[in-house]
Structure 1
């Protein structure tokens, strides 16, 4: 299974300004596999330490954080010498030993020759709680479920993903049924590595569903095990309300759907916890257009998307036979799956800040507005081949963006102000904008 993040890890390895690297992401998105795979590919030796229930490591880091002493202790634990030039040190579930997180500062300052990669399923929580290590002493790499292109490589082969990389849309149109079939599968399977691996090996949708149910059950257990006890019921209520929130025509998050009479201040901590875990993406509203978009963020209005489209389908009970019913898959839940899918791909692309837009009268809504750092790009999501762009036209008349994007099941087409981008090519949005 190929992950684009491997290329980022190679860049990190070769960087002259390399610092200890923290891979952030929700549980089961493949952080441990990625670190070990990178170690196998890029280093002569890998020393893997899992801090979960590891009393020996907890004791080692409990006292002095002198790097020479720590390395000696790790060598004794691993039973072999650590060569700073050719050994990758992997610290997994590092949030379980907060002092190990703190030690990264000293490795950065006093022993930068060591190559250290860390991860933890609930690292976002630990970092948010202010575990003591200074910002600026570590590098970060976000990891999400497999993107559609990574999924395509796994199920259809590198050639089809390569066509997307080259943006050969004429050739892509000749094989578009392959892309559409893979996209339908992705809507059902999603990008959780275990689910994708199972499908590649067995082609059994029922086995995929069972894996997704198991992952969802593990997330629910995390709520009780790791969240502050007073917000656990609220986390559950928020989490379970997401499918019904996204099924609405206007997908703005409504507290009243969580509990009648629900108010923001009751649920803010629960939403923050889910965001810090990487389990939900919070997409805030903007009511104007300018760089940076964050300056126009409306903190009171937002949409919540899940970490993975397959898990959303599992929670809503999406049936396997829906895959066979023409384009029914793309219209079910009023396009909720399609919008979830697009959000997920935009997050996987990289340095894109994602918002949505409505005007004050809510007569014009743009599903996503992204800030590339150089331009603001409105993106309208269509579940089928509907090519009306009323909201995009209204937005363009008001803000005059260089380019607007409409993504649907229609083929690629470039007009002077509008780019029609097929849903299966959403990840290419930045490259298409550069060509513009």
Structure 2
């Protein structure tokens, strides 16, 4: 479960240090290599809930093994890619291949709890959250080492041994799930609601493409997204077994609120990770190495916060503390200027690390307890979708406020937008009675 879960974050973090050598080797400017990042995010945002729905229908083993095999194929294609177009294709395949790990893990945790009669997932859920944080820390260092040893192609080749290990472990350890019965002449894939998947994908992809580069000349993308959303809603309300059952979701207000919290939290989190780091280099004048070192306390604090709080299963307290500290961290950004002391920069990193660790774990656990039992995997996949939409919104904000360069004025404008989202996160968390007792001993 851990191996499948970390494949996506490790491929995301490794890419951060390989974009420049890839561009130099293939003669591609940053505007083109940016598609390598967007390709993974879009494939994952679309693929997570789709793969999760397939896992809910057919069990985790088949989808996990298929995802691992696709990850290996993507790594091989990327390693041999002759040009940027093929490499982008490899990243799309990699995004879809790494989609199966996290929904499979969430499905298995719940099914094992039902099988054994001991629904005590706190330790495993904490391990899933912490492992992703650890990969985010070591990913850039691992990528730098791989590039130093064998060039940028090794950052794709690393997926080959990981995929082989995943297939071997999956075949040996994952339980076999019997296929659900079907009526005579019925195709098994007919339960997936392919029209619903297509409309959902069109809605999400057109939205993400616009967020990548918002401009008045691209007005047709949000229009297409809204049109696809309307058609998808109509389809979901009429289909006997829709891809995402909006009627069930509409009746599950606590789960919808958790998704809204996830979107807000990850916009702030990604802005702290990418926007703040960009300012450290251009606005504060630090080298890339020093800016990277100043982000290590953020990751370290997030790991400690998630590990320590994971000993307790209660969720509401974690979210409230994370929300309050997130507001404080955004306010601290408004104090920074081009001459800010290093100690203040470290305080900012520590402040953002606390909510990153607490909120990430609490949101994951909330989805586990709030989701419908029959749609655990697809609900978990949808949480990752909101995560990556948050990342794309962050990209849009940093492009807006750092249009020319990441100066202090742009950082303060970014901080104000982050503060608004952090305040909204706090406002919908503190009075939420649905969180009371959630994840406790009787959950």
* Structure number with higher strand proportion: 1
* Structure number with higher helix proportion: 2
TM-score (norm: length of structure 2): 0.28
TM-score (norm: length of structure 1): 0.28
Rg larger for: 1
